Amino acid sequence: MLVEYGYGPKTEIEDCTEEEIAHLEDEFGVELPAAYKSCMRYIGNGTNGFLRGSEFTYPAPKYQREFAEDCIERWDELDFSLEETDFVFRGLQGSSFWFFNTEEGEDPPVYLYMEDSKPEL
């Protein structure tokens, strides 16, 4: 689909391996939802410009939780913390991050946390 919309040849859009996805699950002690795993199987290692400026592709999700917790600490006027079952999968230049709760089904809602605001769907 990304190729159809001009994001380059298929050779520049890379998938995550099952081993990489399993490594994320093991590292965070969660079972990732089917919708997220499906996405990572198609574009998890390279998007050729799609989502430019954000940290989304593997191995970035391994570091996103730490990034998110640092942001929350920096934005201390907000009363919010991540749950153990929250999985942060995308960050954007230190100003926001996206996450879902791994216990909210196979296609969970995605929450956006932006500097100076509360998380929203």
Q: Which two tokens stand for residue 33?
A: 């939802």
User: In the predicted model, what is the mean pLDDT of residues 7-24?
Assistant: 74
Q: Measured between alpha carbons, how far is 63 from 52 in angstroms, rounded to an integer? A: 18
pTM of the model: 0.76
Structural domains of the chain ordered from first start: 10-114 (3.40.1580.10)
pLDDT tens-digit series, residues 48-62: 555 555 666 667 788
Q: Would you state the pLDDT for residue 2?
A: 46
Lowest mean pLDDT among 20-34, 35-49, 89-103: 35-49
In angstroms, the Cα distances linking 108 to 73, 77, 95, 103, 105 are: 25, 27, 23, 8, 5
pLDDT tens-digit series, residues 70-120: 888 887 676 788 999 999 988 877 778 989 999 999 999 999 988 766 666
Peptide bond into 33 cis (omega under 30): no
Going by C-beta distance under 8 Å and a sequence separation of 6 or more, which residues neighbour residue 42?
13, 15
Q: Would you state the pLDDT for residue 19?
A: 93
Q: Measured between alpha carbons, how far is 91 from 9 in angstroms, rounded to an integer? A: 25
